[in-house]
C-alpha cells in the first residue's frame, strides 16, 4: 500500500526511460486504484502490470473485493496470490487460495503463487513438509497451467534477513520436485520459481547465480526506482 497516482506515473516513466529492451521479464503490481493508469503508462513496452490480490468469485456480495475479470478490464495481466502479508494479516489459507488459483487459471490471468514457512516452522525444521503441503493443497484440484511460483518465507519479509542463496536453491529444487509429482516433469521444469524476502541490490548477484532461482519478488527495495533498476540490471547481466 504505497504510492499515489503521480508517484506511480513518475516511477514508471523513469523505468521506461532507463530500461529499454530488457532481457528479463519485468512485472509491476501497484495498488488496485492505479492498475488502469499504470497499464496506460507502460503501453508499447514489455512491462506487465498486475494486481496484489483478487477474490475467487466472478461477482457477488463481497464488499471491498475485486474479481479476475475486473482486474483484466483494468489492464492487469497477472495477480499475486498468497503473499505472506495476506496470509499473516488477513488469515488467508491454502483452502481459500486454491479457489483463487483455479479462478486465475480459468480466466488466463497469470498467478504468481506465493508459498513459505513461518519462523517457528523454520526452527522446527519442518520447511519441506510445509511447502509440500501448501503446493499439494493449492494445485492438486487444478489442471496444469502457466504460473510463477514464489518461495517467500514469512520470517524474511521486511526483516532484512535472507537465507543463504545455496539454501534457497535447495528449497527451489525441492519445490520443483513437488511440482513434478503433482503435474509432471515437463511442467515443473517450465515453471519459473522466484525468491521473495528482503531482496536488495546487494543480494541479487548471489541469488541469480543459482540455477533454480529464476527471478525475485521485490518488496521494499522496489519502492525507490533507482534501487529497482539496479536489481533489474544486475539480473540482466548475470
Cβ distance 216 to 207 under 8 Å? Answer: yes
**Residue 123: CB atoms within 10 Å:** 10
Task: Find cell 468469485 and name the residue.
Answer: 57
Tell me if residue 28 falls in helix, strand or coil: strand
List the one residue out of 102, 122, 121, 124 whose CA is nearest residue 113: 102
Q: How are strands ordered across the β-sheet holding 193-196?
A: 27-28, 48-51, 78-81, 110-115, 148-151, 193-196, 216-217
Catalytic-labelled residue, pool 56, 117, 152, 169: 152
Q: Which residues pair with 110 in a beta bridge?
A: 78
SS3 state of residue 110: strand
77 is an active site residue:
no
Per DSSP, what are the bridge partners of residue 196?
217
Residue tagged active-site, from 83, 92, 117, 169? 83
In three-state form (DSSP H/G/I as H, E/B as E, the rest C), the secondary structure along 36-47 is HHHHHHCCCCCC
Q: Verify whether residue 94 is a known catalytic residue.
A: no
Strand pairing category for 148-151 and 27-28? unpaired
- Cα-trace Rg, the chain: 17
- Which residues carry out catalysis? 83, 152
Amino acid at each position: 500500500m504505497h504510492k499515489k497516482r503521480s508517484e506511480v506515473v513518475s516511477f514508471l516513466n523513469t523505468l521506461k526511460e532507463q530500461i529499454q529492451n530488457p532481457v528479463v521479464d519485468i512485472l509491476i503490481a501497484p495498488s488496485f486504484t492505479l492498475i488502469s493508469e499504470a497499464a496506460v503508462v507502460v503501453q508499447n513496452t514489455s512491462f506487465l502490470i498486475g494486481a496484489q490480490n483478487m477474490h475467487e468469485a466472478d461477482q457477488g456480495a463481497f464488499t471491498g473485493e475485486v474479481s479476475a475479470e475486473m482486474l483484466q478490464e483494468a489492464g492487469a495481466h497477472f495477480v499475486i496470490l498468497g503473499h505472506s502479508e495476506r496470509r499473516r494479516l488477513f488469515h488467508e489459507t491454502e483452502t481459500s487460495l486454491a479457489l483463487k488459483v483455479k479462478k486465475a487459471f480459468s480466466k488466463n490471468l497469470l498467478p504468481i503463487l506465493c508459498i513459505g514457512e513461518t519462523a517457528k516452522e523454520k526452527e522446527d525444521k519442518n520447511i519441506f513438509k510445509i511447502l509440500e503441503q501448501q503446493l499439494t493443497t493449492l494445485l492438486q484440484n487444478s489442471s496444469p497451467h502457466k504460473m510463477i511460483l514464489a518461495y517467500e518465507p514469512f520470517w524474511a519479509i521486511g526483516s532484512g534477513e535472507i537465507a543463504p542463496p545455496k539454501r534457497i536453491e535447495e528449497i527451489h529444487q525441492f519445490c520443483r520436485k513437488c511440482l513434478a509429482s503433482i503435474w509432471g516433469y515437463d511442467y515443473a521444469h517450465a515453471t519459473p520459481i522466484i525468491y521473495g524476502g528482503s531482496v536488495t541490490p546487494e543480494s541479487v548477484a548471489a541469488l541469480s547465480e543459482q540455477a533454480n532461482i529464476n527471478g525475485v519478488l521485490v518488496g521494499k527495495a522496489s519502492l525507490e526506482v533507482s534501487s529497482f533498476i539496479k536489481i533489474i540490471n544486475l539480473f540482466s547481466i548475470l
